[in-house]
């Protein structure tokens, strides 16, 4: 039993365990103390001072986020002086912030803006020097706008504590403090792995995704027939985009998503799920070959481009273990400009491929030379995040919530439930196990649900018994967890066979391109990926087809075009390679 | 074929730092809180080269396994660390209370315009670096400037050109005989 502490907050007596902070204790009484730098899933920073409270016996204010309670403490969270102090603090932050809310990407979703409104700031009284820095849009994925930074340090903490990348730090001091990568170099010249978690935790628009909406509008407004414009949304989009239109978290909206994409003017609406099923066929074959002694074990998955960047910068010695399979997006884009182009009688350059991803690292993946045709044009022409697509839908005047359900086009829109769950952490593993179990036992009806790999825990390990073989598996999300498992593999304590690694905490459903959560939820709250994953598992269990290899369109694709899984043609089109890249990250 | 680039990186980093710094880092690696040696390491590097180059900071980061963003964050936080090579002559303008009251800001202005640099910078020819300092303890001579280890004071803005010229001539003039 922890020691219990008695205190009063705003004259209300309360008893909480020792070590509780004033901010947490107040929450138990239904008192919400305003905060900006504080984040429940990150370490304490105490930088913004917005959460100040008055404590009896002190003639200065204390910060509620970091102050632990003591016996007999008397806290006042509301008084004219405190309200004034909080207002002054936020006013001073605003004074050093651009006055461009109306034209800012985060208008309406900005925590600074909300805080200013809540605290009753209705005019800007202070006029002082304002910091001026150029926008850094050097990265293919993440745009940094230091002028909008309020130095809360959340990005620094998420990059270090959740992702283990340590790419960001405060530089300089006082008024001249700037948050940025080492040497304040460009983002594309840094250890950034482009996961975009800094975008998600940023209270303002100091970090944003690289905009691809412009190029997609341009493509969609070309004279009809000039280009055949195709689109593919990732599994996670259907579980999250509804939130942007006020639907509850975890509402599956596959049909509405398809209709919205059609109304935007795409000529064909395909499904990244098809690519996911294909990935499973290729990856399961690769896995079975390695289990048979061809190549090293464990096999590490390769769907997450943030993880691939991390691999190349932080763990290049693990490259031989990593699956050479392209990601579902890149597999499908490749097929769109080869197989599909041939079928339609189109030249590859007549097809324009747009991918909708929960991810900002996909923008970089799409631009990688490994994923381009011989003449240098990329297989994927544009990558929109869920947020970008939601904005386009709103901007186009589409009433998303009331849309009728649509259906994906054939053949590249047919998929199994195994593909839907790719968006959840453990989903790729489960999908692979469903197919591997059938291939290993030769029985058509292997197990479907692998409970051990479900749930949003950062690191899961299990031993699965298939056909008399013990398959040791591990599933990780968030790159600090990836580090743990990679270091274990390197130490050789245990022989793992198959390891799924996703860069983002909670998997793709909580990716760097997903909707900002509603006001009452924090972005790293495990509830968020849990609810979104639930939607994906629901879609999966409602489907007739549950195993990737049962997808008839995939079967047909191999017979008609690719030949054997892992065969020469499949290898040429669906696989890639990796190499150590600089700057080398410190792990 | 190895896909690891660590041995090349390690070799390049070791070559970028003085041997005693490499040895110091190696000695502390693996000890508890070895990252707390960062400031000590940066001091050693600056003592040997006069400033911290990007290459050296990167080498420190890799060898001590401290994230580079942290290294450059610390290096830019403390005024003591220099990120650019310093000039042959170091000019320190005292901005302590007495000197300030006696017009040190005007001395600073004059130095900046004569040298064409700001505080914290070095002239293109590498001859002068300009810095500010707090009280040099010679308030009786206020306002003072210190060039290398020589105190000049009291100085007026009008004296600056003459004082600088002496140093320019010294460095351009015939080589002084070697004193034994």
- Taking only the tens place, the pLDDT of each residue in A148-184 is 999 999 999 999 999 999 999 999 999 999 999 999 9
Residue B1 C-beta-side C-alpha neighbours within 13 Å: 4
Cβ pair A256, A538 in contact under 8 A: no
Chain A residues close to B77, C-beta within 8 Å: 170-173
Closest CA in chain B for residue A170: B73
- Answer yes or no: is pLDDT of A1 > 80: no
- Read off the pLDDT of each residue in A253-257 and give the average, rounded to a whole number: 98
Question: What average pLDDT does the structure give for chain A?
Answer: 96
- The catalytically annotated residue of A508, A533, A548, A550 is A508
Which is more confident, B135 or A509? A509
Q: Which residues of A touch B5 (CB under 8 A)?
A: 316, 580, 582, 584
**pLDDT tens digits, one per residue of A101-122:** 999 999 999 999 999 999 999 9
A vs B, Cβ pairs < 8 A, gives: 73
Q: For this structure, is A303 an active site residue? A: yes
**Other beta carbons less than 10 A from residue A312's beta carbon:** 22
Give the β-pairing of A459-466 and A142-144: unpaired
The Cα–Cα gap between A117 and A122 comes to 7
Identify the pLDDT of residue B174.
Answer: 58
- Please list every residue in chain B whose beta carbon sits closer than 8 Å to the beta carbon of residue A578: 3
Cα–Cα distance measured from residue A348 to residue A375, given in angstroms and rounded to the nearest whole number: 11
Task: Name B172's Cβ contacts closer than 8 Å, sequence gap at least 6.
Answer: none
Residue B3: list chain A partners with CB under 8 A.
316-317, 319-320, 578-580
Please name the member of A180, A319, A586 whose beta carbon is closest to the beta carbon of B67: A586
What is this structure's pTM?
A: 0.92
pLDDT above 50 for B56: yes
Q: How far is CA B50 from CA B7, B60, B76, in A?
A: 28, 16, 15
Q: How far, in Å, CA of A4 to CA of A2, rounded? A: 6
Q: Is A343 a catalytic residue?
A: no
pLDDT in tens, A195-241: 999 999 999 999 999 999 999 999 999 998 899 999 999 999 999 99
Tokens representing residue A577 in the block: 């390679």
Q: What is the DSSP string of A31-73?
A: -----SS--TTS-----S-TTEEEETT-SS-EETTTPBP-TTE
Tell me the pairing of strands B150-152 and B145-147: antiparallel
CA distance A129 to chain B (A): 19
Contact B5 A584 (CB under 8 A): yes
Nearest to A418 by CA among A306, A260, A299, A546: A546
C-alpha closest to that of A178 among A135, A210, A221: A135
ipTM of model: 0.93
Shortest Cα distance, chain B CAs vs residue A286, angstroms: 20
Kindly tell me if the per-residue pLDDT of A441 is higher than 90: no
DSSP string over B16-30: HS-HHHHHHHHHHTT
User: Are B3 and A191 in contact (CB < 8 Å)?
Assistant: no
pLDDT value for B175: 55
What are the chain A neighbours of B73 within 8 Å (beta carbons)? 169-171, 182
Question: What letter does residue A379 receive in the DSSP assignment?
Answer: S
Spatial distance between the Cα atoms of B71 and A586, rounded to a whole number of angstroms: 11
Instruction: Give the residue among A117, A22, A28 at the shortest CA–CA distance from A75.
Output: A22
Model confidence pLDDT, tens digit, residues A5-38: 999 999 999 999 999 999 999 999 999 999 999 9
Q: Tell me if residue B160 falls in helix, strand or coil.
A: helix
Q: Are A319 and A311 in contact (CB under 8 A)?
A: yes
Interatomic CA distance for residues A63 and A47, integer angstroms: 10
- Which of A183, A322, A479 to mutate to test binding with chain B, by most B CBs within 10 Å of its CB? A183
DSSP bridge pairs for A52: A63
> Sign of the C-alpha dihedral, residues A557, A559, A563, A565?
positive
Relative orientation angle of helices B19-28 and B54-64, to the nearest 10 degrees? 30
What is the percentage of chain B residues whose pLDDT exceeds 90?
Answer: 81
A271 Cβ contact partners less than 8 Å away, ≥ 6 residues apart: A232, A233, A408, A412, A413, A414, A415, A419
Active site residue A159: no
Residue B180's pLDDT is what? 47
**Is there a contact between A103 and A145 (Cβ–Cβ < 8 Å)?**
no
pLDDT in tens, A58-74: 999 999 999 999 999 99
- Whether residue A123 lies in the annotated active site: no
Query: Are A97 and A116 contacting, i.e. CB atoms less than 8 angstroms apart?
Result: no
CB A327 within 8 A of CB A303: yes
- Give the list of residues 6+ apart from residue A46 with CB closer than 8 angstroms, or none: A37, A63, A65, A66
Q: How confident is the model at residue B177 (pLDDT cuts 50, 70, 90)?
A: low
Tokens of A342: 């041939």
Interval B144-160 mean pLDDT: 94
Q: Which residues of B71-110 are buried (b: 16+ CB within 10 A; e: fewer)?
A: bbbbbbbeeebbeeebbebbbbbbbbebbbebbbeebbeb
Integer Cα distance of A155 and B34 in angstroms? 25
A321: closest CA of chain B, how far (Å): 11
Would you state the pLDDT for residue A127?
81
CB pair distance less than 8 Å for A183 and B72: yes
Average pLDDT over residues B52-71: 97
Q: How far apart are CA A29 and CA A497, in angstroms?
A: 49
Chain B CB contacts of A167 below 8 Å: 67, 69
User: Shortest CB distance from A316 goes to which of B4, B54, B62?
Assistant: B4
pLDDT band of residue B1 (cuts 50, 70, 90) is: low
Write out pLDDT tens, residues A320-344: 999 999 999 999 999 999 999 999 9
Instruction: Tell me, yes or no, if A202 is annotated catalytic.
Output: no
Residue A365 appears among annotated catalytic residues: yes
Q: What is the mean pLDDT of residues A350-373?
A: 97
B93 CB-near residues (< 8 Å, 6+ apart): B99, B104, B107, B108, B111, B119, B130, B131, B132, B133, B145
Select from A168, A172, A587 the Cβ nearest to the Cβ of B69. A168
The percent of residues in chain A predicted with pLDDT above 90, rounded, is 94
Q: How far apart are CA A189 and CA A194, in angstroms?
A: 12
Interchain pair A580, B5: CB under 8 A: yes
Find which of B6, B64, B69 to mutate to test the A interface (most A CBs within 10 Å of its CB): B69
Chain B interface test: which of A165, A169, A295 (most B C-beta within 10 Å): A169
Measured in angstroms, the CA of B102 and the nearest CA of chain A are apart by: 27
- In this predicted structure, what is the pLDDT of residue A224? 87
- Those residues whose C-beta lies under 8 Å from the C-beta of residue B151, and which sit 6 or more positions away, are B136, B138, B141, B144, B145
**Best residue in A173, A174, A182 for a mutation probing chain B (most B CBs within 10 Å):** A182
- Identify the contact set of chain A against chain B, taking CB-CB distances under 8 A: 160, 166-173, 180-184, 190-191, 316-317, 319-320, 578-580, 582-587
């Amino acid at each position: 039993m922890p020691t219990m502490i008695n205190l009063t907050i705003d004259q209300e007596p309360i008893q909480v365990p020792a070590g509780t902070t004033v901010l947490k204790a107040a929450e138990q009484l239904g008192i919400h103390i305003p905060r900006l730098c504080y984040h429940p899933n990150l370490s304490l920073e105490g930088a913004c001072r917005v959460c100040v409270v008055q404590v009896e016996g002190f003639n200065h204010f204390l910060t509620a986020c970091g102050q632990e309670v003591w016996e007999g403490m008397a806290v006042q969270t509301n008084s004219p002086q405190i309200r004034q102090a909080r207002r002054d603090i936020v006013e001073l932050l605003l004074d050093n912030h651009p006055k461009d809310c109306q034209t800012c990407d985060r208008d309406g979703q900005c925590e600074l803006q909300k805080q200013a409104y809540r605290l009753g700031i209705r005019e800007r009284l202070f006029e002082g020097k304002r910091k001026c820095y150029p926008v850094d849009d050097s990265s293919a994925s993440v745009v940094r706008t230091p002028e909008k930074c309020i130095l809360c340090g959340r990005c620094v903490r998420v990059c270090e504590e959740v992702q283990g990348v340590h790419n960001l730090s405060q530089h300089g001091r006082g008024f001249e403090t700037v948050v940025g990568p080492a040497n304040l170099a460009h983002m594309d010249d840094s250890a950034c792995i482009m996961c975009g978690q800094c975008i998600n935790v940023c209270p303002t628009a100091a970090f944003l995704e690289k905009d691809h909406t412009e190029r997609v509008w341009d493509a969609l407004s070309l004279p009809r027939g000039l280009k055949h414009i195709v689109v593919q949304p990732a599994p996670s989009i259907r579980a999250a985009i509804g939130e942007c239109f006020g639907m509850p978290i975890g509402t599956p909206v596959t049909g509405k998503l398809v209709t919205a994409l059609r109304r935007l003017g795409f000529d064909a609406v395909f499904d990244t799920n098809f690519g996911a099923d294909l990935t499973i066929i290729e990856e399961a074959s690769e896995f079975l070959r390695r289990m048979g002694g061809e190549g090293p074990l464990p096999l590490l998955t390769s769907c997450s481009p943030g993880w691939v960047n991390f691999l190349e910068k932080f763990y290049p010695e693990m490259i031989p273990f990593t699956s050479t399979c392209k990601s579902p997006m890149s597999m499908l884009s490749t097929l769109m400009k080869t197989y599909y182009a041939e079928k339609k009688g189109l030249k590859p350059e007549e097809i324009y491929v747009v991918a909708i991803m929960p991810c900002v690292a996909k923008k970089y993946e799409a631009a990688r030379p490994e994923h381009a045709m011989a003449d240098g044009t990329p297989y994927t022409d544009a990558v929109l995040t869920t947020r970008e697509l939601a904005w386009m839908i709103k901007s186009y005047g589409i009433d998303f919530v009331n849309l009728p359900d649509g259906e994906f086009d054939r053949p590249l829109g047919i998929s199994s439930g195994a593909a839907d769950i790719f968006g959840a952490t453990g989903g790729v593993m489960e999908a692979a196990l469903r197919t591997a179990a059938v291939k290993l036992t030769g029985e058509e009806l292997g197990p479907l649900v692998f409970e051990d790999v479900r749930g949003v825990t950062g690191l899961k390990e299990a031993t699965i018994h298939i056909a008399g073989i013990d398959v040791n598996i591990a599933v990780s999300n968030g790159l600090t967890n990836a580090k743990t498992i990679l270091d274990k593999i390197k130490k050789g304590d245990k022989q793992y066979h198959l390891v799924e690694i996703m860069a983002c905490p909670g998997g793709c459903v909580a990716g760097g391109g997903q909707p900002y959560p509603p006001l009452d939820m924090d972005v790293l709250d495990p509830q968020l990926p849990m609810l979104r994953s639930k939607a994906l598992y629901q879609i999966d269990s409602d489907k007739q087809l549950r195993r990737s290899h049962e997808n008839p369109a995939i079967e047909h694709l191999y017979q008609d075009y690719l030949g054997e899984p892992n065969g020469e043609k499949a290898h040429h089109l669906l696989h890639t390679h990796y190499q150590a890249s600089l700057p080398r990250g410190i792990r | 074929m190895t896909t690891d680039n660590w041995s090349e990186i390690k070799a390049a980093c070791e070559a970028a730092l003085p041997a005693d710094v490499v040895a110091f880092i190696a000695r502390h690696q693996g000890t508890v809180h070895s990252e707390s040696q960062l400031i000590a390491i940066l001091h050693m590097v600056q003592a040997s080269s006069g400033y911290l180059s990007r290459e050296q900071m990167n080498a420190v980061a890799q060898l001590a396994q401290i994230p580079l963003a942290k290294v450059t964050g610390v290096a830019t936080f403390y005024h003591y660390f220099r990120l650019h090579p310093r000039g042959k002559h170091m000019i320190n303008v005292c901005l302590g209370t007495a000197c300030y009251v006696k017009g040190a800001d005007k001395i600073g202005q004059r130095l900046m315009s004569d040298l064409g640099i700001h505080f914290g910078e070095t002239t293109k020819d590498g001859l002068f670096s300009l810095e500010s300092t707090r009280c040099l303890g010679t308030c009786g001579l206020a306002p003072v400037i210190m060039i290398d280890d020589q105190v000049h004071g009291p100085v007026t803005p009008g004296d600056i050109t003459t004082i600088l010229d002496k140093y320019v001539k010294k460095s351009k003039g015939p080589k002084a005989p070697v004193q034994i």
